[in-house]
Structure 1
Amino acid sequence: MDTSGIGRRVAYWRERRRLTQGDFGALMGKSRRWVQDLEGGQRQSDPRLSVLERAAEVLQVRLEVLLSDWAIGRAAECVDASELAEIRATLHRHDVITGVFQDDPEAVGLDSLRRNVAYGWTAFQASDYSPLGRVLPPLLLDANRAAAQAEGDAQRTAYALLSLTYQLTTAVATKFGDEALAWHAADRSVMAAERSGDCVAMAGATRHLCDAMFHRGDGAAAVDLATAVAGRLEADLVDRGEQGLSMLGMLYLKATIAAAHAEARAKVPDLLEAAEASAERLGADGNALWTAFGPTNVRIHRVSALVRLNDGADAVAAAAEIAVPAMSGLPRERRAHHLGDVARGLTLAGRREEAVSTLLEAEREAPEETHCRPRTKRLVEDLRLLGAGSAEGRLRGLAARCGLPA
């Protein structure tokens, strides 16, 4: 048994679970001094397996994560099931549901809340997912408390920030395959946006609800929702400049993917054309409110739609038309996500060795996106079943780094 570094790994996961040394000791049936000695390396030279198994249970990780730096490195990249459960529990709190906060501290200032929301979205776009599991529960509480306690224009601003917080929660839950949580958060984001009276917030919340809907199999309804809201809000969104045009374009892009998911092939070209019209009005790639919207994002959504329609060869051809400099200007999450779509297109086209190479490129771009995302891991599994020719060795290594069984 490799016992070196056990105390350091225990300390990492204790802090990630937001447990004090005293709390962890109490759950272990040990003293705070015992925890200090363990984390300081004094108690790990000959650890009892039963103690390590109990520590793994308390910390809600697999035993191997406490025994290997390689395992902790892989596990630490992702938002894990325990953190998703804590986010869900926060949404179920009575004060979050009712908006009645009794005997609670004063609401966080709107400037501070705005900075914290920006931090969360920036981390997401950088594929830096591991902090989000810890950040989102207190951020959800702060945003709900601010919306409940503010008044007048400040309250409308607070509700817009609350909607953005729920939208981030939806994006994280979708990324990690928790469709029920994504739906729940998206529904809350729409309600908060409506309370804000802000057309940009309404459009942003709707695009995430659309995302949650088609991931649950409601693609046709998602298309109807996105296009109806786009039609209702278009004039107001255009008047809002970069933010409004970006949200309008993203509504049409989400409708495009939902249509492809529902196999409504005939609707895809018109929806892409509508998104392209917003991109042309915008004039260049941008990242207003973390949308990464612009002409390049329209092109990568075309690739994604073709993949979902199982048109692998067409998807690969469409990807080849996207200029490399344009791709390099997008956030890491978008670039790695796109490479995953290209790898799927190559697989559909029977070019499996190239698909493995593309997944390895995605891994270099953003390891977290490749190792953590259920959709990408399913593609790795598919390639293992289909066979990857001369790329088999590289594929096995990638599968191991994704935590897939040998």
Structure 2
Amino acid sequence: MNNFQFRRRVAYWRGRRRMTQAHFAALMGKSVRWVEELEAGRVQANPQLSVMLLAASKLGITLERLLSDEAVACAGQRELDAVRAALHHHDVITGACGAAAEEPVPVELLDRTLAYAHDGFQRGHFAQLGTVLPTLLIDASQAAHHHRGDDQLAAFRLLSLSLELANAALIKWGDTETAVLAGHRAMAAAERSEHPVTMASAARHLADAMTNHGQAAEAVAFVTAVAGRLQGELLRRGPDGLSVLGMLYLKAAMAQAAAAEADDRRFAALARRVPDHLAAAAGHADHLGRDDNRLWTSFGPTNVQLYEVAAHVQLSEGADAIAVAAGIRDIAVASLPRERRAHLLTDRAHGETQAGLHEKAVDTLLEAERLAPEEVLCRPRSRALVEDLRLLVTGSAEGRLRALADRCELPG
């Protein structure tokens, strides 16, 4: 093991154990200066086995675990290129099978594959989508072309949901331009499915992509128009319809907040409309009567609160975001998918940073990392927050933050 790996692993596990450098130094029988220099890479160019054994013992882990590199695999250029290539594949663009197309995948198998991929996303495993999505997008496109009748409508529905997932993954990976493209394709497939719930689901994802791509005002207009057009039909569709209808208003709230943040002249007027969209979503959540995960929405009263936190952060109202987050019941948060819980924690860390609680923000990010590492270590939004905190944090949190920055592979 080289010096960089050893110091990174020691700093990582010291952070995991919430030890200060002084505490770890005392356990090692060394000075604080020694620990500082070790983690900065200025000592132990070839760490001795005795030092590694002692460090592992004091950190409460085996030597094998200390020496293993548990770095999180983030989606890289290969995964991005694969999804982009699928979106530009002949069959996905034209909706027509190429001459060499084989017998299409059965609708039932597409459904199971889509469920597997969506479940992975909700567990916070975003990188694996770079392997699953390209094949799923092409298979679903070919199935929609090949089948007829109800099977064809079902295939268009599954194609739309697959494109939505590509949209969501691309946002996590920071490619908002391609996310918008996937979102438009999802809307087109949803319309061909003749299924209002799928149309609304695609619309909420497209609005999210538009907002993240700097088209927030347009996203507000689009998503509220869809909500108005489909509301009657969605209300007749039971929990599925209520869930996607509520999500349309949550996406409208976030788009409204982003539009306000981008418009200095009309900030106050635009920001005043955010609570209206949140209230509309809350009304549908109350009608639903529980937290649910229909169509992977996680929609319900608790998710409305999560979006309220996120909207306050978007408006740079950190203290308000912290207050709302503090009022969310732990038992309610625990029932949400990992991705939602980690997203709440990263939003809370943003709010704490805005409120000047920089050390607390570091600890909140570490909590999010333990829950869903890719949400912190891989997502550009979270990595940017780590970069900002490196300029702001002093004192006891510096070591924990430095170790986190190393795991994010941020330049020193």
TM-score bin, normalised by smaller chain: 0.7 to 0.9
Structure 1 counterpart of 2:193, which letter? S
**1:301 maps to what in 2?**
307
Q: What is the CA-CA distance between 1:69 and the residue it aligns to?
A: 5.9
Equivalent residue in structure 1 for 2:83, among 67, 83, 87:
87
1:119 counterpart residue number: 116
1:245 maps to a residue whose letter is L
User: Contact 1:74 / 1:371 at 8 angstroms: preserved in 2?
Assistant: no
**Distance in 2 between residues matched to 1:93 and 1:148, nearest whole Å:** 14
Is 1:141 aligned to 2:138, yes or no? yes
Give the length in aligned residue pairs. 338
Amino acid corresponding to residue 343 of structure 1 in structure 2? A
Do structure 1's residue 192 and structure 2's residue 189 form an aligned pair? yes
Question: How far apart in 1 are the matches of 2:348 and 2:367?
Answer: 11
Match of 2:295 among 281, 289, 297: 289
**Superposed displacement of residue 75, structure 1:** 5.2
Q: What is the aligned partner in structure 2 of residue 346 from structure 1?
A: 352
- TM-score (structure 1 length as normaliser): 0.82
What residue number does 1:212 align with?
209
2:166 maps to 169
Q: How does 1:310-325 map to 2 (within 5 A)?
A: 310-325=316-331
Deviations 1:155-189 (A, max 9, x none): 11110100000000000000010111101100100
Q: Is the 8 A contact 1:346 1:352 kept in 2?
A: yes
**Residues 201 and 388 of structure 1: is their aligned pair in 2 closer, same or farther, counting only changes over 3 Å?**
farther
1:10-52 CA-partner distances (Å, limit 9, x unpaired): xxxxxxxxxxxxxxxxxxxxxxxxxxxxxxxxxxxxxxxxxxx
Letter matched to residue 277 of structure 2: L
Task: Tell me how far 1:109 sits from its aligned partner.
Answer: 0.6
Matches of 1:248 and 1:256, distance apart in 2: 13
TM norm structure 2: 0.80
- Counterparts of 1:177-188 in structure 2, within 5 Å, are 177-188=174-185
Give the counterpart of 2:255 among 240, 258, 281.
258
Answering whether residue 397 of structure 2 is matched by residue 391 of structure 1, we say: yes
Unaligned residue ranges in structure 1 (runs of 5+): 3-67
Partners in 2 of 1:367 and 1:388 — Cα distance? 24
Task: Determine the C-alpha separation between the residues in 1 that align with 2:71 and 2:276.
Answer: 41
Task: From the superposition, tell whether residues 218 and 165 of structure 1 become closer, same or farther in structure 2 (CA, over 3 Å).
Answer: same
Secondary structure of 2:272's counterpart equals: helix
Equivalent in 377, 382, 391 of residue 388 of structure 2: 382
Alignment check: 8 A CA contact 2:216 2:258 kept: yes
My pick for the range that moved more, 143-152 or 99-108, is 99-108
Partner of 2:38: none
Counterparts of 1:193 and 1:128 in 2: how far apart (Å)? 26
State the alpha-carbon separation in 2 of the partners of residues 337 and 98 from structure 1.
Answer: 36
The equivalent of 1:46 in structure 2 is none
* Percent sequence identity over aligned pairs: 54
Give the conservation status (yes or no) of the 8 Å contact 1:175–1:373: yes
CA shift, 1:153, in A, is 1.4
Gaps of at least 5 residues in structure 2 are: 3-66, 261-269
For 1:25-64, what aligned pairs fall within 5 Å after superposition?
A: none
Q: Which of 96, 102, 105 pairs up with 1:105?
A: 102
Q: Which deviates more, 113-122 or 81-90?
A: 81-90
Helix, strand or coil: the match of 2:273?
helix
Letter in 1 for 2:251: K
Tell me the distance in 2 between the aligned counterparts of 1:337 and 1:95: 34
Superposed structure 1 runs of 4+ greater than 6 Å apart? none
